[in-house]
Amino acid sequence: MDRQDRQPLPVRIQPMLAAPGLPPPPDGRWAVEMKWDGVRALAFIEDGQVRLVSRTGREITVAYPELSGLGQVSERGVSEQGTGECGAGEHSQLLLDGEIVAFGDGGWPEFEALQPRIHASTPGQAALLAAETPVTYLAFDLLQLDGRSLLDVPYRERRRLLDQLALSGPYWQTPPSFPGADFRAVLATSVANGLEGVVAKLLDSRYEAGSRSGSWRKIKNVLRQEVIIAGWKPGKGNRFGQIGSLLIGLNSPEGLIYAGHVGTGFTVETLRMLGERLAPLRRPDSPFAGPVPEEHTRTAVWVEPRLVIDVAFGSWTRAGRMRAPAYKGLRDDKEPADVVRET
């Protein structure tokens, strides 16, 4: 590529999102990947420097110092040749899409293990946490290579170029992508290892930045849902003076609607952190657009609906409420406006 035709890395790009859907047909048009339980992040890499940006556009580089080594890939790998093919050589610019994960004791990603890392805000704090709980960047898409945008290139070609990068380091790797015919086997593996599910991707699809596209389908093993905290009930007994349960909601055409209350899945540290984050958001009245059961409103402490959490739950009731939801983690990488019912 002529240097005059090289495109600079974009300042910001919104990642493509998967829509809930049915398993793909075995017609050879799809590939299947694991749905990794972590934090979505775009990696902007140029001349040895790495910039990590969350799904909401927030720069999170400082929180993950061990991922600075991703800049090393700009000194080796693949570059575009005159034929349009990619072969061995140097390249100085990459834009990757992927997931930051923390591996649990079983060797598979666990969102709960990642929680302490998400909230690191200073280099010193991040360095200490990195020594205790290192993360791994799982790169599953390539959006720009040496000044060439790949957004309009079919997924199968983007994936081929990504695989040729051979990203393999102490804190980064490229997880495999499987043919659609392997869907049942991949899904069974995800179930056996406690993962959330899989993502099926149409091989001929372009990268639709900022869209929740049917070209990517997420198929979940367990019911997981992002919800918005709208208030809490004060705790009793050993939780006296703390949060007892969180009152949660989802966006709907009518506004924020009540989806249930979460009272399990918390550690002492989590309750303390949530209490500190929610204290400045207190408000005098309910932010819900519709009714809330009286037993929850009687002692409720209401807050501005700005914090998003991830929960696992048993099923939906006919009234649109969650049965037995359990807290899984705070999602600083998700905007409240984007939280709608998905399962």
71-84 per-position pLDDT tens digit = 877 555 443 433 33
The amino acid at 198:
V
Tell me the pLDDT tens digit for each residue of 32-47. 999 998 999 999 999 8
Query: Do 103 and 241 belong to one domain?
Result: no
Q: For residue 296, give its domain range.
A: 224-338
28 in any annotated domain: no
Domain C-terminal end among 175, 206, 238 = 175
Query: Do 169 and 229 belong to one domain?
Result: no
Query: Do 256 and 169 belong to one domain?
Result: no
pTM: 0.80
207 in any annotated domain: no
193 in any annotated domain: no
228 CB contacts (<8 Å, ≥6 apart)? Answer: 248, 249, 250, 251, 256, 305, 306, 307, 308, 336, 339
Residues 259, 229 contacting (CB under 8 angstroms): no
The separation between the first and the last C-alpha atoms of the chain, rounded to the nearest angstrom, is 45
Question: Which CATH number is 9's domain given?
Answer: 3.30.470.30
Query: Do 151 and 290 belong to one domain?
Result: no
Query: Do 73 and 146 belong to one domain?
Result: yes
259 CB contacts (<8 Å, ≥6 apart)? Answer: 227, 248, 249, 250, 320, 321, 322, 341
Q: Which residues are catalytic?
A: 35
Domain C-terminal end among 145, 160, 175 = 175
Q: How far apart (Å, rounded) are the C-alpha atoms in residues 156 and 114? A: 30
pLDDT at 89 exceeding the cut of 50: no
Question: Which CATH number is 246's domain given?
Answer: 2.40.50.140
213 in any annotated domain: no
98 in any annotated domain: yes
Q: How far apart (Å, rounded) are the C-alpha atoms in residues 157 and 211? A: 20
Tell me the pLDDT tens digit for each residue of 176-221. 999 888 999 999 999 898 888 999 999 999 999 999 989 999 998 8
Residues 94, 144 contacting (CB under 8 angstroms): yes
Query: Do 230 and 309 belong to one domain?
Result: yes
217 in any annotated domain: no
pLDDT at 1 exceeding the cut of 90: no
Q: Which residues of 256-271 are buried (b: 16+ CB within 10 A; e: fewer)?
A: bbbbbbbbebbeeebb
Tell me the pLDDT tens digit for each residue of 270-307. 999 999 999 999 999 999 998 898 888 889 999 999 99
